[in-house]
Structure formats: structure tokens, C-alpha cells
């Protein structure tokens, strides 16, 4: 079998469902299949490994705190206190003060929409009572029924906040969020007179998030819950998962077709220190082949009769084996061929 050693192999690009590779070959002298004379320099080799081969496609993104949520006044009055931009607010703390009365942050997904008082039932009652219980107030059972016992606990809570002890809760007294929030920006100053619906501040979550905008061709990479790798501005690589995918449609002018893009929000598997707004690079999984045999791309040999092979080394004996190539990723290539198994050694170019 006559062969030529591959001098260079171009990188592969994986589109959705297909691998395209380009390989450049330079002719070298025919290799000698006989054992090397004693005293010559040892032949460089690499092991055939069995592993999951993953091809990744990287896109530029931004590290920040994700989309902001607007907090607006529910009733009119004068803003008498505001938090500091960049500060964090947890459950039970004031998110702002109106007419010198606190508007309190609680945790939950259902916004306040009615007065909670004795006799009222529903999921909003249970959400509020769970918060009241978490703040240390007792004497009632957190359920979907607002009882006299709940009202009594609310009076204690209102007394601690310096509010009139009514035993009922108005929607304007509370704001719900998923958890502890970060004050992203203030929309007005202390002393401002506001009407119902006036924007007061914007909040975000406290954990940094990565955001990437993909065009339509790369959109299939954005699968909810998929794992990604994020390269931070300091060069550190951390893992994360796709948390949200939002479709963005930009209407074109002059009769042109609309443009569709995908905004991908990514959360981190471990805590990442906030770096303000910073550039990141996100590597999405474009293709994956589990439990396949791989060799370094440079180990491929172009066979004179066509196709590719690898040169196996067994002690002082060398022989060529034709291979079929599969996925190219991270400098390695998937191979299949007769008699190949993990642990065998292949010749590497010196």
C-alpha cells in the first residue's frame, strides 16, 4: 500500500446535521514500512482514544444582569426614599417609600392585583402567606384561605413596618419578584410627585447572565436547557445552560424581507463574579458523537489510492490501516476501520 503523509488538515465546520471538511495534502517521500534501525530517534506517536467528541460553534455575547423589570407606582403620592443604584434588596425590605410608607419586596411570580383580607381565597393568598411565614410571623397556616389568624399576623407585620394596623394588604403595599433583586437604575429622584403607573426604577436579578444574539442560520444552536461554555473577559472558561430564547423580528423597510434573530440568555452553573457589562464568547454545541474512536487530525494519512488512513505502531512494526472519518472537533477526528481500538498507537508527524 503506497501512502503519502498529510502535511496539513484544514479545520472543519459543522452545519446543522452535516460536517464539511477541507484537507490539503503535500506529497512527501514514501514511508518505509520496515522497522527503524536501532539508535534512530523514537517515532512520535499518539493513542487512539474512545470518547465523546463535541464540535462547538462560538459566538460573541455580553455579560450583564439580564433584562430589567420596571417598577411603577400603584397609587399617587410623593417619593420619600429610594434605594441606591447597584444595591440589592431581599424579601421583606423596602424597595422604595411613598408618602414615607414602605413598599415591601416579597417573593413570587403572581403580581398583587386585589386587596387581601379575611375571607379571601386563592393562589395569591397562599403566595403572600408563604412570604409572611418566611419573615417569621406565625399563628396561621400558609394556605389559600385568608383567615382571621392571617389578619392578626398581618397586623403584627404592619406594626413592625410602621404602617396602620388594618389586618388587610393593599396591592400598593407590596411588590413581587422571583428572588433578591438588584437595582439597575432609578427613573426619578426623591421628592418626585408620582401618579399611578409612573415608572420609579428598574430592577434585575443579582446573578450575572450572558446574552448572545444569533442570526437565523445559527438559531438551531439555541436549544432551551442545552449546555454551553462561556469564555469570560479574563480568559477563564466556565459552563452554563441556555435559560431563555427570545425570537426577535425586525421589520425591514422599502419592501425588503423581515429579519429574524434569536436572543439567547444563559445562566452559569456556578457563581460568577459580576464584572459589570463585559464581552464574552459563548461556545454552543453544534454536533456531538458519543463513545467514538478518535485520533489527532494530524495523524491522518492521505492514501495514494484515495481516502485516508492511520499508521499503526506495534513495537518496531508499522502498518497502515484505511479509515473512514466522521466528526472533526477540537483538533481530533472520529475514525472507524478494521482492527482499530482504543489504546493502539498511531504515528504522528515529527
pLDDT in tens, 239-298: 999 999 999 988 777 667 778 999 999 999 988 876 667 899 999 999 889 999 999 999
161 — pLDDT class (breaks 50, 70, 90): very high
Average pLDDT over residues 300-312: 92
Catalogue all structural domains in the chain, each as residue range(s) with its CATH number. 3-57+288-347 (2.40.420.20), 61-65+208-287 (2.40.30), 69-205 (1.10.101.10)
Pick from 118, 135, 131, 117: which is nearest to 176 by CA? 131
More confident of the two residues 329 and 42: 329
Give the span between the Cα atoms of 308 and 324, in whole angstroms. 7
Q: Return the HEC string of 130-193.
A: HHHHHCCCCCCCCCCECCHHHHHHHHHHHHHHCCCCCCCECHHHEEEECCCEEEEEECCCCCCE
pLDDT at residue 40 in the model? 58
Please answer whether residues 58 and 281 qualify as being in contact, where contact means their C-beta atoms are separated by less than 8 angstroms.
yes
Average pLDDT over residues 175-188: 96
pLDDT at residue 276 in the model? 67
More confident of the two residues 270 and 142: 142
| Of the listed ranges 5-19, 100-114, 133-147, 164-178, the one predicted with least confidence | 5-19
Burial class (CB in 10 A: 0-12, 13-18, 19+), 277: exposed
Average pLDDT over residues 7-17: 35
148 — pLDDT class (breaks 50, 70, 90): very high
Q: Model pTM? A: 0.67
Average pLDDT over residues 198-205: 96
Query: Mean of the per-residue pLDDT values for the chain?
Result: 87
Give the span between the Cα atoms of 49 and 306, in whole angstroms. 25
Helix (H) or strand (E) holding 123: helix 123-134
Average pLDDT over residues 60-67: 91
pLDDT at residue 10 in the model? 35
* Cβ density class 19-43: b for 16+ within 10 Å, e for less: bebeeeeeeeeeeeeeeeeeeeeee
pLDDT exceeds cutoff 50 at 151:
yes
Give the span between the Cα atoms of 335 and 47, in whole angstroms. 13
pLDDT at residue 26 in the model? 38
pLDDT exceeds cutoff 80 at 318:
yes
The residue length of the chain stands at: 350
pLDDT exceeds cutoff 50 at 36:
no
Average pLDDT over residues 50-55: 93
The DSSP letter of residue 299 is G
pLDDT exceeds cutoff 70 at 149:
yes
More confident of the two residues 123 and 329: 123
pLDDT exceeds cutoff 60 at 335:
yes
Helix (H) or strand (E) holding 124: helix 123-134
Amino acid at each position: 500500500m503506497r501512502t503519502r503523509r498529510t502535511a496539513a488538515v484544514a479545520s472543519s465546520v459543522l452545519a446543522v446535521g452535516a460536517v464539511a471538511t477541507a484537507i490539503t495534502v503535500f506529497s512527501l517521500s514514501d514511508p518505509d514500512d520496515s522497522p527503524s534501525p536501532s539508535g534512530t530517534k523514537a517515532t512520535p506517536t499518539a493513542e487512539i482514544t474512545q470518547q465523546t467528541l463535541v464540535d462547538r460553534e462560538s459566538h460573541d455575547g455580553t455579560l450583564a444582569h439580564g433584562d430589567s423589570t420596571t417598577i411603577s407606582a400603584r397609587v399617587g403620592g410623593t417619593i420619600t426614599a429610594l434605594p441606591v443604584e447597584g444595591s440589592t434588596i431581599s424579601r421583606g425590605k423596602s424597595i422604595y417609600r411613598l408618602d414615607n410608607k414602605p413598599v415591601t419586596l416579597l417573593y413570587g411570580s403572581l403580581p398583587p392585583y386585589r386587596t387581601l383580607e379575611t375571607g379571601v381565597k386563592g393562589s395569591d393568598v397562599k403566595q403572600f402567606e408563604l412570604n409572611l411565614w418566611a419573615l417569621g410571623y406565625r399563628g396561621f397556616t400558609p394556605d389559600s384561605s385568608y383567615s382571621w389568624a392571617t389578619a392578626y399576623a398581618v397586623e403584627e407585620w404592619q406594626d413592625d413596618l410602621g404602617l396602620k394596623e388594618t389586618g388587610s394588604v393593599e396591592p400598593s403595599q407590596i411588590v413581587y419578584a422571583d428572588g433578591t433583586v438588584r437595582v439597575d437604575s432609578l427613573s426619578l429622584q426623591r421628592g418626585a410627585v408620582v401618579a399611578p403607573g409612573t415608572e420609579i426604577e428598574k430592577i434585575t436579578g443579582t446573578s450575572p447572565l450572558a446574552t448572545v444574539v444569533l442570526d437565523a442560520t445559527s438559531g438551531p444552536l439555541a436549544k432551551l436547557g442545552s449546555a454551553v461554555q462561556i469564555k469570560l473577559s479574563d480568559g477563564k472558561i466556565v459552563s452554563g445552560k441556555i435559560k431563555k430564547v427570545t425570537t426577535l423580528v425586525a421589520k425591514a423597510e422599502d419592501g425588503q424581507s423581515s429579519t429574524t434573530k434569536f436572543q439567547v440568555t444563559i445562566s452559569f452553573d456556578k457563581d460568577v463574579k459580576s464584572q459589570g457589562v463585559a464581552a464574552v464568547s459563548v461556545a454552543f454545541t453544534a454536533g456531538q458523537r458519543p463513545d467514538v474512536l478518535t485520533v489527532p487530525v494530524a495523524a491522518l494519512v492521505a492514501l495514494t489510492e484515495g481516502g485516508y488512513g492511520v499508521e499503526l505502531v506495534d513495537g518496531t512494526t508499522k502498518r497502515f490501516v484505511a479509515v473512514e472519518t466522521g466528526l472533526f472537533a477540537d483538533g481530533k477526528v472520529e475514525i472507524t476501520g478494521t482492527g482499530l481500538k482504543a489504546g493502539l498507537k498511531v504515528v504522528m508527524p515529527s
